[in-house]
Amino acid sequence: MSTLRLAAPADRGDLASFLGRAVALDPAAVTRLRTSGQHVAAYVRLPFGVLVSRTLAGAGEPADVTVGAADLLAALDAAGTHLDRGLRWPRPRDAEWRAALPPPGGWQLLDSVPGEVVRALVRSARDALQAVPAGAAATAGESLLDHEALTVAGAGRTATLPLRVLTALTRMGFVAQPAGGQADLVAVSATGGWVRLAAAYGSAYQHAMPAFGLSKR
């Protein structure tokens, strides 16, 4: 039987939170879930063109499936915490997945950035957009998302990240609030043409084209 099994109620809550935020941004979103070992990675491509993911303890059969994010969220809500026997997948929508997925390994850590730096950059962009006349807001918003907001260097490479990737981290609630004296760091890693920003509650990805966003130093 095609099912999703999650290791603990906390994983169910984490997946529901991930899907809920994705659906709030795009009610028609689809999510791709891939099982590797004892973990399931859930991916969604946000409407402003950024791939995001959340990894949970569990397993799925089949090991790679795409379903409607709202459909899976509804199924989780209906099942509650009773997922020990598995949750049947909603109707598969594999043909609707259009995004490439990042490789599973080979990531090199470039540097770690404080979460407050990410939040401050996104806040500044939001404030700048609010100052734009209403008639020009759509064009200005797209330009702001393309703005190269953060450059990180390390391991012999330099990654330049547009604001849209930082916005994805905050809109999905991935960046933790500092607590107990612990820093809320965002790890920036790269492999091939990919850059990953991994925060406490999920990751956002930039798939760089040749000569854009990622270069040798």
- Beta-carbon contacts of 84 under 8 Å, excluding residues fewer than 6 positions away, are 5
pLDDT digit string, tens, across residues 144-185: 788 899 999 999 999 999 999 999 999 999 998 876 656 789
Least confident piece of the model among 70-74, 107-111, 133-137: 133-137
| Domains parsed from the chain with CATH numbers | 3-96 (3.10.150.10), 108-216 (no CATH)
Question: Is pLDDT larger for residue 1 or for residue 177?
Answer: 177
Check pLDDT > 90 for residue 111.
Answer: yes
3-state secondary structure of 58: strand
For residues 184 and 203, what is the distance between their CA atoms, to the nearest angstrom?
14
- Whose CA is closest to 207, among 121, 113, 98, 112? 98
pLDDT band at 197 (very low <50, low <70, confident <90, very high): very high
Please state at what angle helix 163-171 crosses helix 137-146, rounded to 10 degrees: 100
Model confidence at 138: pLDDT above 60: no
Per-residue confidence (pLDDT) for residue 127, from 0 to 100: 79
Whole-model pTM? 0.89
Q: What angle do CA 100, 47, 79 make, to 5 degrees?
A: 85
- In this predicted structure, the answer to whether residue 212 has a pLDDT above a threshold of 50 is no
pLDDT at 213 over 50: no
- When mean pLDDT is compared across 26-35, 101-110, 120-129, 152-161, the lowest value belongs to 120-129
pLDDT per residue as tens digits for the range 32-48: 999 999 999 999 999 99
Residue 133's Cβ-side half-sphere holds a number of Cα atoms within 13 Å equal to 2
Pull the structure tokens for residue 213. Answer: 């966003």
